[in-house]
Copies of this chain bind each other. A is one copy, B any other.
């Protein structure tokens, strides 16, 4: 009874919200009843641009997205990566003007929830408000870890850490099949996420491979020995605030 007969586009959002805080049955119903329109976006297309004020909140139904900022001389830094079930515009629920860009990593389906509807739901149901706030706080925690990662870890540890984070987040969302995962990023994009050049990402990932930490097949990543990989990447999942299950 805890799963609807047909998987709706907002089911993954529900799963995401429940990862961190329990919801009441009424909360679940209200979320499932949120109005939305579905939209398919191509890789590299934008949902939000710096300076804009979007009037709806996108939730990823399938595919991947990333947050990105540019320096004045055009260097790109990816500041966050999002997987299915994650909302992309919670900032703009309350901040008028976006301070960064959100782009699709892959072709993706988005559920666009009108800003007003989500605001009303958050105002009406404290349980939902709490779950949304926790999502925001956890994203902030991930930002802090990324600052640490980019600021103080060397290239190979840094890359290993990112790969570990991705694995754990996908797994928590039920999107990892236990035998590695598809990493939908070019080495250029990995570099932009890590503050490295694509050339150095290439050398670094091959080194991880040579050392037996990582196996690759196309974009598919596998860790022959998770414990060893986790240790090498200096990865501890506390900052993800995922309930141990």
A residues at B contact (CB < 8 Å): 50-51, 67, 69, 71-73, 75-77, 79-80, 90-91, 94-95, 97, 99-100, 123, 126, 129-130, 133-134, 136-141, 143-148, 150-153, 157, 194-195, 234, 238-239, 241
State A133–B76 Cα separation when bound (angstroms).
Answer: 28
Q: Are B147 and A91 neighbours in the complex by a CB distance under 8 Å?
A: no
Interface of A is mostly: helix
Q: Are B100 and A144 neighbours in the complex by a CB distance under 8 Å?
A: yes
State A99–B146 Cα separation when bound (angstroms).
Answer: 13
The 4 A-B pairs of least Cβ separation, nearest first, read: A151-B195, A143-B143, A72-B234, A75-B152
- The 27 sampled A-B contact pairs (Cβ below 8 Å) are A50-B238, A51-B238, A67-B144, A71-B148, A71-B153, A72-B234, A73-B234, A75-B153, A76-B152, A77-B148, A77-B151, A79-B144, A91-B140, A94-B130, A97-B238, A97-B241, A99-B239, A100-B144, A100-B239, A129-B129, A136-B137, A136-B140, A140-B143, A143-B147, A147-B147, A150-B150, A151-B195
